Amino acid sequence: MKHHHLAVLVLMLVSGVTLSVSELESYALKPHIAESFNVSYLQLKSQGSCPYTVVISTSCSSPSYTRDQISISFGDFYGNQIYVPRLDDPASGTFERCSSDTFQINGPCAYQICYVYLYRSGVDGWIPESVKISGYYGRPITFYYNTFIPRDTWYGFDWCNAASSSYHLSNQKWLLFLVLGFLIHFWL
């Protein structure tokens, strides 16, 4: 009976840790509102010039076109930030349903891009499918939105701390499994 209770306890602990790690990882994969994003700060930091290619695909679920103003900001872990106040051009058919638009952007030199935020101002609405960013100092990265961008707020992803967070979570998880394995070995 003692072994049965221990097995149930171990199963509960492992399930709880696995669930909390998967919840944290799934949150990081979904776009969110940027609570403390400051554009004026971004503009002050803009120094140097490196080229970036940004490909934004508009979802087939999006309105057929949008006249909304679309802005973008992206950057790296080190605080290098690129800001473009207006990407849209309604006259040229930018951000039409089921289309992709490519932008050549110059901005501060950044390393691996790890965050992107979009800003939408207007009443039409818009649903981007994805944003792919390529720069000189990092590998191309794609952020998958597939959701409506809220009006008048920065909305997107920040994966800058995800690598270090997942490293710490992996270490904690392995330590827990090691301790549990040790306990099971000696109690069984």
DSSP 8-state secondary structure symbol assigned to residue 48: S
Q: Please tell me the predicted confidence (pLDDT) of residue 121.
A: 95
Crossing angle, helix 2-29 and helix 162-187, to 10 degrees? 170
SS3 content of the chain, % helix, strand, coil (to 5): 35, 30, 35
Please state, for a pLDDT cut of 90, what percent of the chain lies above it.
54
What digits encode the pLDDT tens for the residues 144-172? 999 999 999 999 999 998 754 444 444 44
What digits encode the pLDDT tens for the residues 41-80? 554 454 568 999 999 999 999 999 999 999 999 999 998 9
Q: Please tell me the predicted confidence (pLDDT) of residue 13.
A: 45
Distance, in Å, from the CA atom of 185 to the CA atom of 173, rounded to the nearest integer, reads 18
Whole-model pTM?
0.70
Distance, in Å, from the CA atom of 6 to the CA atom of 184, rounded to the nearest integer, reads 8
122 falls in which pLDDT band (50, 70, 90)?
very high
Span 82-97, average pLDDT: 88
Across the chain, the runs of DSSP E, i.e. the strands, are 32-33, 50-58, 69-76, 81-84, 100-107, 113-121, 128-135, 138-144, 154-158
Q: What is the mean pLDDT of the chain?
A: 78
Residue 115 Ramachandran class (φ > 0 left, ψ -120 to 50 alpha, else beta)? beta
Residue type at position 69: Q
